[in-house]
Structure 1
């Protein structure tokens, strides 16, 4: 099963993606890209805001690679290995978050949860696009102004919350645990049955 994990699933790409993200974030720094807001005007978003999507792409790439015959005859259910690998990805993202910023780690957790839930209903490509669409939706519709005219965010735009927001962390962790249980179950895949 170890060979299957590294050769077929290629879970080694996720830590490589995280290392590249840390290096890229150090290079790009606080660079911004303009993003239109439907609430008025054009605002900027840090380039590093979009980097969690790369982790989601790497995870969905790994989950998309499979040999159905090997998975149906495996002694160890492959979906349990996948659950462990995705949980380890979030743990490694939190380690990278110490360097890049803890909002990165929270957003990786949130986007992976969203991706796993969309993957359960559709496929890996749609799951990846859902994460990017969610980030863009947060930027375009999730920004607001408080009574004093200061920029803030709406209640649902979790990706825009500051890294210290306990509520955003709890919602992200809860969604991730739900998605981990539902999104990687064996009964989801055609030809495979739950143990």
Structure 2
């Protein structure tokens, strides 16, 4: 089964994606990318704001690779390996978050949860695109200004919350737990 996880599922791509995330964030992560705002004007975002999509693409790539005949006859259900790998991805992302910023780690968890929920309804490519779309919509629609004219964010734009926001962390963790449960039912339904 270990050989299946490594050669067929290729879960080794996720740690490589995390290394890529750290390298990109460390080298060009603070570079600004202009983003049009639907609430007025032109805004910008750091490149490292978009790096969670790299992790989601690697996870969706690994989940997409299957051998249904081998999975249906396996002694250990493969969906359990998938769940452990997704949880390990979130844990490793938080380890990388100590280097690149805990807001990036929270956004990885958030976008990964959204991707797993989308994957339940659609396919892997749509799931990865949904994460990127979520990040872009947060930037385009989620920015606001408070009463004193300082830049702020709308209540629903979780990706824009600062790393210290306990509420954003709790929502991301709850959404991740729900997404794990829902995606496991999809995998069991497909492989059984």
TM-score of the two chains, using structure 2 as the length reference? 0.98
**Structure 2: 5+ residue runs without aligned partners?**
none
- 2:38 aligns with 38
- 1:101 aligns with 101
Find runs of 4+ consecutive structure 1 residues off by over 6 angstroms. none
Deviation (angstroms), 1:176: 0.2
Give me the whole-angstrom Cα distance separating, in 1, the residues matched to 2:107 and 2:128: 14
Give me the whole-angstrom Cα distance separating, in 1, the residues matched to 2:10 and 2:169: 29
Residues 112-168 of structure 1, C-alpha deviations (whole Å, 9 max, x = no match): 100000000110010000000000000000000111111000000000000000000
Secondary structure (helix, strand or coil) at the match of 1:152 reads: strand
Secondary structure (helix, strand or coil) at the match of 2:27 reads: helix
Question: In 1, are the aligned partners of 2:145 and 2:151 still within 8 Å (CA)?
Answer: yes
Deviation (angstroms), 1:29: 3.6
Give me the whole-angstrom Cα distance separating, in 2, the residues matched to 1:40 and 1:156: 18
Secondary structure (helix, strand or coil) at the match of 1:45 reads: strand
- 1:125 aligns with 125
* Residue 140 of structure 1 pairs with residue 140 of structure 2: yes
Deviation (angstroms), 1:25: 1.1
Deviation (angstroms), 1:57: 0.2
**Structure 1: 5+ residue runs without aligned partners?**
none
Secondary structure (helix, strand or coil) at the match of 1:182 reads: helix
Alignment of 1:1-195 (within 5 A): 1-185=1-185, 186-189=187-190, 192-193=191-192
TM-score of the two chains, using structure 1 as the length reference? 0.96
Question: In 2, are the aligned partners of 1:116 and 1:179 still within 8 Å (CA)?
Answer: yes
Secondary structure (helix, strand or coil) at the match of 1:184 reads: helix
Question: In 2, are the aligned partners of 1:144 and 1:153 still within 8 Å (CA)?
Answer: yes
Give me the whole-angstrom Cα distance separating, in 1, the residues matched to 2:117 and 2:88: 18
Question: In 2, are the aligned partners of 1:120 and 1:188 still within 8 Å (CA)?
Answer: no
- The two structures, once aligned, show a CA RMSD in angstroms of 0.8
Give me the whole-angstrom Cα distance separating, in 1, the residues matched to 2:30 and 2:170: 27
Question: In 1, are the aligned partners of 2:79 and 2:188 still within 8 Å (CA)?
Answer: no
Give me the whole-angstrom Cα distance separating, in 2, the residues matched to 1:48 and 1:128: 17
